[in-house]
Amino acid sequence: MMNFKTICIIGMGYIGLPTASVFANHGIKVLGMDVNADVIGHLKAGKVHIFEPGLQKLFHQALESGRLQVATEVSPAEAFIIAVPTPFFEDKSADMRYVESAAESIVPHLQPGNLVILESTSPPQTTVGLVAPILEKSGLKAGRDFLLAYSPERVLPGRILEELVGNARVIGGVDPASAEAGRDLYQTFVQGDIILTDATTAEMVKLMENTSRDINIAIANEFSRLAEKFGVDIWEAIGIANLHPRVEILRPGIGVGGHCIGVDPWFLVEAAPETARLVRTAREINDAQPAFIADLVDQTAGGVAGKTIALLGLAFKPNVDDLRESPAVKLAHDLEFRGAKVLAYEPFKPEAGLPGITQVTTLAEALSEADLVLLAVAHDQFKALDPAETARQTPAKAVFDAVKAWDKPKWEAAGFAFTGLARRF
């Protein structure tokens, strides 16, 4: 069994920073590296730059212990973890430049016996076909001179710290010794099962998990479109259908976002376009859902051109500050394209600086000029809004609930014309 004392984690984002903090609080000396000098500046000042419950406290503890340091340069360590973004280009092909750069930064510091783990979600065969050749520029051979594995993050924003520890961890090595070394490292804090396999299987597992969910969301979204066409309340229909013991239809909404479910399936489409036909179709359905919602809002409002819409929520899911690939952002752009003036309020990131979107910093500001109030993200504070109080804060006489978070009769009793995604009740 290997006993790691030092780790360098490359990428201090939604995964790298929590991972670094957890490792440091479990007794390992960690260097958290990020090329963004502003991010490192915030961290050196003791402030986390992302919202995640419990992270500020955990990070502060790690920093105070002296076991966590941050820098803009890689330093020698016994193990290196790559936790950088893997976005995609306009044509939906994977942008692996961050992974390539991270691997290149390790090369000068790689020593015999070191372990390198890629955590970034990646197309199949990235570990063996991209990362290994870059690292081998050091003159060392993967699986012979150094250990190399892939271990995808499998956590939910809003519950990252809990799930980092409790979830099962998949570790795929370029050889069995690499997988075993990864197990030795992560069992420092992982309480869930640790499953060992090969690197490409581990990559495939992560993509399968998110693609499966994307497909299930796509059928729910398509059902919502059919329900609109047939005059059916989709929420009633789903509730009845889900009474069947072998049926579990998910909730429809405004689309799919985040850095995982909205991105990962495209890696399979890119790798095998002729085979991944269902995967592509599901992605296209979910990507088109914001425009479908914009069409519904346009129709129910009798045209949005020239009207002001208070858009509540820009995050990709409730109660997080993550705006990556958010369908709410796309919805805002779609409404602007139709001629609406959109005042967007995102309580978890009120000044995100998104191009082409007018953000306001308070709910009152969003409501004060609105002709229509559009609920795009079911943040708890939006779900708790009192219709009568809201009526006193806005000239708007209409609301549109795109995520079924509001009680239709209560809002109608407060004087609002109420519509929503395939809603009758």
The residues carrying an active-site annotation are 206, 260
Burial label for 222, CB within 10 Å (0-12, 13-18, 19+), is: middle
Question: DSSP strand E in 258-338: where?
Answer: 308-312
What secondary structure letter does DSSP report for 142? B
**Angle formed at CA 333 by CA 332 and CA 338, multiple of 5 degrees:** 100
CA pair distance 95, 108, nearest whole angstrom? 24
Length in residues, the chain:
425
CA pair distance 86, 204, nearest whole angstrom? 15
Taking a C-beta distance cutoff of 8 angstroms, is the pair 4, 185 a contact? Answer: yes
Alpha-helical (H) ranges within 36-175 are 37-44, 55-65, 97-106, 126, 132-135, 160-166
Q: Which residues contact 233 (CB under 8 A, 6 or more apart)?
A: 227, 422, 423, 424, 425
| Range 236-245, long-range pairs (CB < 8 A, 24+ positions) | 236/424, 236/425
